[in-house]
């Protein structure tokens, strides 16, 4: 195997992550793969970071302000830029003439150059006039000693809810609590639809090319009662899309295609993107159009033609109708953005381009009574909020904010959420948009020549946007488990099949609902291990003095190889205990896992010997994938997480809040992709590709292993700091050391081919003790020395019923006096 420049690689990963985090504070970074669409994911990624309360954080790449200069440099730079000695003043005594000479000189040097640069991207006199006008606002502000544009505005704020900065929270709060804003009051307290079947949706779809994708989307979503409004980018090159969709709409009265002049020429990151959405809202509500009735709908669903539904139509209705009629589903980063002056600019949009003019004051409650929030432009909103957006009344927040946002990049990420959070609609905000997407393509990752420069519009050429991952068949499993109603982005030219797979399960689920099942009845599958969780044991240590299990330390998120049992339990273990079952009190906390949810394609079964037998599915050659969740102790509810950016060999394995992204799924070794008994992660092909592009070999399958054992695969990637003498000495011997030497050690990802490092696991279900028939509850257990021992049982446990252990699902009490027998039960 090649020796990698591991350090720089890992550093690079951290750097990327740093930028990713920064992205949620500087909202213009958060971008899309084509000119029509971009957004922030922000929330998922951010939550993950912010929940991370006790592990070391990635380097904070605060490159917003790291180009700070010294005062001397600063003065030097000022003089250089002006570059002027004003010799022309020497031969004039007339102040007025002197003034004229100086202003002409200034205009002929810096100003002229600047305008020439800006104008090089323009085509029309009209656009140049517009740029000149806006640049004059700034130049004149200085000349006339006035405030720069937008520097002294105040806005009305009708929300009234407190606003928090993550690093300045009250003691008892954490970002997750604020981010996880829900709106689902009791049914008797606000208006709900009684019957989800009555829910009428207006789907607003932005598109530019590939009319077939829009038609497929409409056909997938159509049910009587729903309507569709489509905006096709107004540029000439998309006329064929427009015509194809008009022809389709002519035969389907519920489909409406916007016409000129309501079609907007859409530019990446510009206000035109917001405007296109506003045009659809205005059309739906027949604003300024007395020739039509407004469309009938309860909710407006904003999608792009590269979206596709994951849930069946009934599921969509049932889900949305489980919230009040006035609920607004927007995904907003609830911490205001506070961009520095290097990162926030005033733009003018014309001639299909964005033209950067000057720094723009960012809004903040302290100065302008308003804060800016990053949000996704894909949302589902109430009819009332749609009306508010579509008809900006003078004096309203949206009316004023529109004049500001027109000059902001990326406007669409900074518009809808900010408006919502400053109006009374903020009280009906559910902070989730039911859209799955993942961002792991950054324009700045690409070499300068290959970038889409529209996505790097800032003075710093490395400040670029990022693009959502194209969903291919690789992601079918992830999409199935996402729990969302919609996903993007799809590209039929890259993978036409993944939608067929989705259609299969949508149809299956729809039929199930029609036959009376509720959505919760059939999604998703799980390995339930008798329903009480599972102990995951390193097979090699089963007969050791201290069997080792997949667990956590007493604190922290790191997944470790920890002792499976309390000390006093071990001597009583029977032969082949691993094929039996355990009860909760026998194991320390943080060892009880739930293997759920799992994807439905293929099958997983526990064999009598405790291994998992994998059956391939129709499209999942590796069998089902599952999430692995802690169900006890401090970290209950957290999921296995392979840390998106460090899934390379040597990456730490942890638990984090569950975000349903690929790095939180495990697969089970089938002997083909990974050794039987192993747990592994599948790395999506585009990430593998990214790594290979950097000159590294990368397997798509990464197993759970330990550091320093087995061949050198993972050492190739480990930080150089660990490759000192001790490490290499250890490595050579370590290949043959028993696994017990790794007791308490952090687990890492390792190549599945690294046989000795890869751990094989057996799965031992937990069973639960129940209160015995006569109601007596045992509070003590006799430990192996015959001492009466106060067990883990305490009052809260008692309520669940502790006492004689029983075989689960079989009311057959066994003695509690000698625990050893219990281990053989199943
Ligand atoms: C978010 O809030 C809801 C309801 O308040 C709760 O059920 C859910 O567990 C919370 N989720 C997280 C991740 O905190
Ligand atoms: C709604 O019903 C719940 C019980 O289901 C009750 O506690 C609550 O007070 C009711 N609220 C109103 C406004 O009637
Ligand atoms: C928004 O689009 C409409 C319709 O094309 C256009 O008339 C209007 O000028 C646009 N607004 C802005 C601020 O560009
Ligand atoms: C695994 O499952 C397959 C099919 O369900 C079965 O034929 C095979 O015998 C099983 N293997 C073991 C070891 O249980
Ligand atoms: C290196 O290995 C030898 C035995 O192989 C052992 O005695 C020695 O302690 C090891 N050195 C270190 C630094 O681990
Ligand atoms: C008993 O339960 C309380 C609260 O649930 C917990 O703080 C305490 O640690 C438990 N005691 C034992 C011995 O588990
Ligand atoms: C378990 O306890 C029963 C009765 O209490 C006793 O007869 C039996 O020998 C014990 N078994 C073991 C393995 O200690």
Q: What is the pLDDT of residue 823?
A: 29
Among 3-17, 531-545, 710-724, 725-739, whose mean pLDDT is lowest?
Answer: 3-17
Residue 69, helix vs strand vs coil: coil
Q: Which of 44, 51, 177, 180 to mutate to test ligand 1, by most ligand atoms within 8 A of the CB atom?
A: 180
161 and 245 share one domain: yes
Pocket test for ligand 4, best of 602, 603, 604, 605 (most atoms within 8 A of CB): 605
Number of domains the chain is built from: 3
Q: Does 816 lie in the same domain as 740?
A: no
Quick check: is 83 in a domain?
no
350 part of a folded domain: yes
3-state secondary structure 533-572: CEEEEEHHHCCCCCCEEEEECCCCCEEEEEECCCCCCHHH
Q: What is the pLDDT of residue 779?
A: 30
For ligand 6, the distance from its centroid to the CA atom of residue 754, given in whole angstroms, is 41
| Residue 532 CB partners (closer than 8 Å, separation 6+) | 584, 592, 765, 766, 767, 768, 808
- CA-820 nearest atom, ligand 7: 13
The percent of residues above 70 in pLDDT, for the chain, comes to 75
| Residue 47 reports pLDDT greater than 60 | no
Atom of ligand 3 nearest to the CA of 261: 5
If pLDDT is split at 50, 70 and 90, which confidence band does 472 have? confident
Q: Is 796 a residue whose pLDDT tops 60?
A: no
656 alpha carbon, closest ligand? 1
Mean pLDDT of 200-219: 97
Stretch 476-494: mean pLDDT: 90
Q: Which residue has the higher pLDDT, 529 or 674?
A: 674
Distances in Å between the alpha carbon of 486 and those of 214, 223, 457? 14, 16, 30
Q: Given pLDDT bands bounded at 50, 70 and 90, which one contains residue 520? A: low
Residue 724 CA: which ligand is closest? 5
**In this structure, what token pair is assigned to residue 204?**
């607003």
Report CA torsion sign: 439, 440, 442, 446.
Answer: negative
Do 752 and 788 share a domain, yes or no?
Answer: no
Could you give the C-alpha distances from 704 to 121, 513, 540, 563, 739, in angstroms and in order?
A: 52, 39, 14, 17, 13
Over range 92-103, report the average pLDDT: 89
Q: How far is CA 227 from CA 202, 648, 794, in A?
A: 5, 46, 57
Q: Per mean pLDDT, which range of 245-249, 332-336, 492-496, 672-676 is the poorest?
A: 492-496
Q: Is 514 in the pocket of ligand 5 (CB under 6 A)?
A: no
Segment 257-264 mean pLDDT: 96
Identify the residues whose C-beta falls under 6 Å from ligand 6: 792, 794, 796
Q: What DSSP letter does each residue of 13-60 carry, written as one string?
A: HHHHHHHHHHHTTSTT----SBTTB----THHHHHHHHH--SSPPPP-
Which residue's CA is minimally distant from atom 2 of ligand 1?
180
Residue 817 pLDDT greater than 70, yes or no: no
Residue 542 maps to a domain: yes
**Ligand showing the shortest atom-to-Cα distance for residue 175:** 1
Residue 313 in contact with ligand 3 by CB distance below 6 A:
no
How far is ligand 2, taken at its centre, from the CA of residue 195, in Å?
A: 20
d(CA 322, CA 432): 14
**What integer pLDDT is reported at residue 783 of this predicted model?**
28
Q: Does 750 have pLDDT greater than 90?
A: no
726, 745, 764: which is the final residue of a domain? Answer: 764
Is residue 20 over pLDDT 80?
no
Q: What's the gap in Å between 683 CA and the centre of ligand 2?
A: 48
Q: Distance between CA atoms of 389 and 349, rounded to whole angstroms?
A: 21
User: Domain of 5?
Assistant: 1-64+109-185+199-518
- Measure the CA–CA gap between 522 and 509, rounded to whole angstroms: 8
Give pLDDT tens digits for 375-386.
999 999 999 999
Mutation to probe ligand 5, out of 708, 724, 725, 729 (largest number of atoms < 8 A from CB): 729
Q: What is the mean pLDDT of residues 572-598?
A: 89
Q: How confident is the model at residue 573 (pLDDT cuts 50, 70, 90)?
A: confident
pLDDT tens, 328-357? 999 999 999 999 888 899 999 999 999 999
Considering only CA atoms, which of 680, 651, 655 is closest in space to residue 667? Answer: 680
Q: Is the CB of 261 under 6 A from ligand 3?
A: yes
Residue 34, by phi and psi: left (phi above 0), alpha (psi -120 to 50) or beta? beta
CA distance 85 to 62: 37
Query: Alpha-carbon torsion 772, 774, 778, 783, what sign?
Result: negative
pLDDT grade for 450, boundaries at 50, 70 and 90:
low
Say yes or no to pLDDT of 566 above 90: yes
Residue 387 has pLDDT above 80, yes or no: yes
- Residue 749: the pLDDT is 87
More confident residue, 49 or 423: 423
Same domain, 570 and 596: yes
* For the CA of 188, the nearest atom of ligand 2: 1
| One domain for residues 753 and 737 | yes
What ligand 3 atom has the least distance to the C-alpha of 264? 5
pLDDT computed for residue 650 by the predictor? 61
269-322 tens-digit pLDDT: 899 999 999 999 999 999 999 999 999 999 999 999 999 999 999 999 999 999
To test the ligand 2 pocket, which listed residue (185, 187, 188) has its Cβ within 8 A of the most ligand atoms?
Answer: 188
The per-residue DSSP string of 238-270 comes to GHHHHHHHHHHHHT-TTEEE--TTS-----TTS
Instruction: Please report which confidence band the pLDDT of residue 465 belongs to, taking 50, 70 and 90 as the band edges.
Output: low
Whether 152 maps to a domain, the answer reads: yes
Q: pLDDT of 547-557, one tens digit each?
A: 999 999 877 88
- Indicate whether residue 170 lines ligand 2 (CB < 6 A): no
Residue bearing the CA closest to ligand 7, atom 11: 818
Nearest CA to ligand 4 atom 5: 615
CB atoms within 10 A of CB 369: 15
pLDDT score for 57: 29
For residue range 307-336, what is the model confidence (pLDDT) as tens digits?
Answer: 999 999 999 999 999 999 999 999 999 999
In a domain, 695, yes or no: yes
> Are 589 and 656 part of one and the same domain?
yes
CB atoms within 10 A of CB 123: 12
Asked whether the predicted pLDDT for residue 777 surpasses 70, the reply is no
d(CA 754, CA 736): 13
Do residue 703 and residue 738 come from a single domain? yes
Clarify whether residues 486 and 568 are in a common domain: no
* Domain assignment present for 340: yes
- Are 492 and 588 contained in the same domain? no
77 in a domain, yes or no? Answer: no
Surface-to-core class of residue 328, CB atoms within 10 Å of its CB (0-12 exposed, 13-18 middle, 19+ buried): buried
Residue 91 lies in a domain: no
Q: Within this chain, do residues 400 and 311 fall inside the same structural domain, yes or no?
A: yes
Q: At 668, which CATH number?
A: 2.80.10.50
Spatial distance between the Cα atoms of 704 and 27, rounded to a whole number of angstroms:
36
Give bridge partners of residue 552 from the DSSP assignment. Answer: 559
Compute the distance from residue 348 Cα to the ligand 3 centre, in Å.
13
Our answer on whether the CB atom of 574 is closer than 6 Å to any ligand 7 atom is no
Q: What is the pLDDT of residue 154?
A: 93
Please choose from 792, 794, 795, 798 the residue to mutate so as to test ligand 6's pocket, defined by most ligand atoms within 8 A of CB.
Answer: 794
User: 180 alpha carbon to ligand 1 midpoint, in Å?
Assistant: 6
Which numbered atom of ligand 1 lies nearest the CA of 176? Answer: 14
Last residue of a domain, one of 485, 518, 551: 518
At what angle are helices 271-284 and 411-420 packed, to 10 degrees? 50
Residue-wise pLDDT for 24-36, tens only, equals 323 333 332 233 3
pLDDT for the residue 811: 27
Q: How far is CA 158 from CA 332, 369, 420, 425, in A?
A: 18, 10, 10, 9
* Each residue's pLDDT tens digit, 164-193: 999 999 999 988 899 999 999 999 999 999
Say yes or no: 39 and 141 in one domain.
yes
Instruction: Say how far apart CA 735 and CA 729 lie, in whole Å.
Output: 11
- The string of DSSP letters for 443-485 reads GGGS-GGGS-GGG--SSSTT---EEEPP--GGGHHHHHHT--S
Q: How far apart are the CA of 499 and the centre of ligand 3, in A? A: 35
Give the residue from 466, 500, 518 where a domain finishes: 518
CA 722 to ligand 5 centroid distance, Å: 16
Structure tokens at 438: 């993942």
**Per-chain mean pLDDT for the chain:** 79
432 and 544 share one domain: no
Q: How far is the CA of 577 from the centre of ligand 7 (A)?
A: 17
pLDDT of residue 574: 85
pLDDT band at 420 (very low <50, low <70, confident <90, very high): very high
Residue with CA nearest ligand 4 atom 14: 607
């Amino acid at each position: 195997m090649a020796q990698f420049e591991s350090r720089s690689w890992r550093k690079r990963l951290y750097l990327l992550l740093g930028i990713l985090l920064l992205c949620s504070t500087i909202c213009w970074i958060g971008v899309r793969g084509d000119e029509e669409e971009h957004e922030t994911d922000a929330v998922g990624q951010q939550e993950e970071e912010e929940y991370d309360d006790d592990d070391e954080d990635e380097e904070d790449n605060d490159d917003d302000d790291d180009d700070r200069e010294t005062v001397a440099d600063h003065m030097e730079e000022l003089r250089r830029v002006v570059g002027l000695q004003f010799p022309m003043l020497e031969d004039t005594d007339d102040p007025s003439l002197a003034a004229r000479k100086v202003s002409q000189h200034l205009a002929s040097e810096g100003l002229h150059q600047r305008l020439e640069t800006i104008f090089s991207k323009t085509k029309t006199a009209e656009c140049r006039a517009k740029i000149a006008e806006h640049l004059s606002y700034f130049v004149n502000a200085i000349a006339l000693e006035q405030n720069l544009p937008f520097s002294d505005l105040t806005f009305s704020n009708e929300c009234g809810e407190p606003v928090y900065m993550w690093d300045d929270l009250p003691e008892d709060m954490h970002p997750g609590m604020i981010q996880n804003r829900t709106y689902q009051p009791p049914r008797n307290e606000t208006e709900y639809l009684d019957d989800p079947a009555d829910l009428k949706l207006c789907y607003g779809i932005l598109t530019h090319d590939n009319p077939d994708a829009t038609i497929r989307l409409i056909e997938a979503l159509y049910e009587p009662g729903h309507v569709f409004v489509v905006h096709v980018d107004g540029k000439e090159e998309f006329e064929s899309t427009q015509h194809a969709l008009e022809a389709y709409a002519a035969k389907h009265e519920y489909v409406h295609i916007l016409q000129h002049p309501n079609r907007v020429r859409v530019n990446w990151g510009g206000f035109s993107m917001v405007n296109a959405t506003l045009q659809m809202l205005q059309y739906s509500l027949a604003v300024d159009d007395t020739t039509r009735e407004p469309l009938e709908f309860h909710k407006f669903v904003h999608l792009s033609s590269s979206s596709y539904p994951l849930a069946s139509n009934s599921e969509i209705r049932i889900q949305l109708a489980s919230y009040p009629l006035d609920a607004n589903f927007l995904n907003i980063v609830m911490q205001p953005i506070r961009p520095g002056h290097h990162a926030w600019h005033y733009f003018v949009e014309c001639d299909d381009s964005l033209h950067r003019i000057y720094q723009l004051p960012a809004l903040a409650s302290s100065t302008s009574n308003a804060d800016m929030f990053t949000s996704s432009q894909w949302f589902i909103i109430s009819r009332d909020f749609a009306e508010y957006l579509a008809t900006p009344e003078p004096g309203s927040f949206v009316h004023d904010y529109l004049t500001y946002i027109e000059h902001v990049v990326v406007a669409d990420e900074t518009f809808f959420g900010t408006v919502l959070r400053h109006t009374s609609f903020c009280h009906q905000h559910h902070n989730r948009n039911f859209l799955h997407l993942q961002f792991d393509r950054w324009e700045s990752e690409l070499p300068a020549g290959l970038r889409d420069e529209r996505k790097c519009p800032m003075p710093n050429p490395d400040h670029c946007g990022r693009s959502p991952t194209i969903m291919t068949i690789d992601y079918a499993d992830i999409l199935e488990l996402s729990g969302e109603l919609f996903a993007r982005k799809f590209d039929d030219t890259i993978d036409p099949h993944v939608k067929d797979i989705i259609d299969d399960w949508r149809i299956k689920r729809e039929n199930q609902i029609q036959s009376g099942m509720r959505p919760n009845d059939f999604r998703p599958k799980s390995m339930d291990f008798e329903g009480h969780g599972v102990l995951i044991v390193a097979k090699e240590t089963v007969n050791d003095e201290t069997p080792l299990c997949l667990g956590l330390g007493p604190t922290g998120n790191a997944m470790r190889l920890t002792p499976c049992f309390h000390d006093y339990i071990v001597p009583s273990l029977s032969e082949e205990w691993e094929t039996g079952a355990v009860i909760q009190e026998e194991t320390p906390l943080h060892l009880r896992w739930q293997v759920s949810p799992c994807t439905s394609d293929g099958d997983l079964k526990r064999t009598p010997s405790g291994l998992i037998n994998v059956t391939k599915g129709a499209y999942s050659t590796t069998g089902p994938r599952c999430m692995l969740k802690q169900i006890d102790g401090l970290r209950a509810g957290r999921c296995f997480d392979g840390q998106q950016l460090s899934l390379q060999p040597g990456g730490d394995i942890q638990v984090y809040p569950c975000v349903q992204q690929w790095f939180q799924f495990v697969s089970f070794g089938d002997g083909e992709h990974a050794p039987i008994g192993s747990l592994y992660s599948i790395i999506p092909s585009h990430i593998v590709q990214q790594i290979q592009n950097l000159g590294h070999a990368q397997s798509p399958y990464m197993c759970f292993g330990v550091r320093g054992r087995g061949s050198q695969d993972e050492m190739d990637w480990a930080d150089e700091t660990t490759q000192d003498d001790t490490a290499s000495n250890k490595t050579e011997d370590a290949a043959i050391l028993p696994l017990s030497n790794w007791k308490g050690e952090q687990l890492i990802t390792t190549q599945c081919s690294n046989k000795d490092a890869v751990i094989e696991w057996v799965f031992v279900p937990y069973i639960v003790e129940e209160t015995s028939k006569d109601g007596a509850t045992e509070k003590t257990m006799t430990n192996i020395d015959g001492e009466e021992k106060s067990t883990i049982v305490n009052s809260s446990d008692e309520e669940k019923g502790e006492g004689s252990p029983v075989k689960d699902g079989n009311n057959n009490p066994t003695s509690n006096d000698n625990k050893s027998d219990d281990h053989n039960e199943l």
